[in-house]
């Protein structure tokens, strides 16, 4: 079984709603074995242009668990708030 990572690149649109979203995501990760690897802000681009200044990386035990998390009722319920709070590109990677 290989690990999977979900990478979110984002630009916050509503700084009041963004913390509301972030504070609720962790509870949706736990049932799927998801763990926050890091959150950060873009310091410098060595090549190309990334339009999103912020990033989050989440590790899952498998791609199936990452997919289960994203499709879960608990996370799907948060998507409207996420869309109001930020522009987000969310991508999964298997190792």
* 15-48 pLDDT, tens digit each: 999 999 999 999 999 999 999 999 999 999 999 9
pLDDT of residue 67: 98
Round to whole Å and give the CA distance between 56 and 47: 20
Mutual orientation of helices 73-85 and 63-71 as an angle, nearest 10°? 70
Query: Which structural domains are found in the chain, ordered by start?
Result: 15-43+51-86 (3.30.70.100)
pLDDT of residue 1: 61
> Considering the entire predicted model, what is its pTM?
0.93
Round to whole Å and give the CA distance between 47 and 69: 32
Q: What is the pLDDT of residues 64-94, one digit of tens each?
A: 999 999 999 999 999 999 999 999 999 999 9
Sign of the Cα torsion 14, 38, 75, 25 reads: negative
């Amino acid at each position: 079984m290989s690990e999977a990572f979900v990478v979110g690149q984002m630009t916050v649109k509503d700084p009041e709603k963004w913390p509301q979203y972030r504070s609720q995501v962790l509870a949706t990760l736990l049932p799927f074995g998801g763990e926050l690897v890091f959150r950060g802000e873009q310091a410098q681009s060595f090549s190309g242009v990334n339009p999103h200044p912020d990033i989050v990386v989440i590790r899952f035990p498998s791609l199936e668990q990452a997919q289960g998390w994203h499709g879960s009722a608990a996370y799907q319920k948060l998507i409207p708030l996420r869309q109001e709070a930020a522009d987000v590109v969310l991508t999964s990677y298997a190792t």
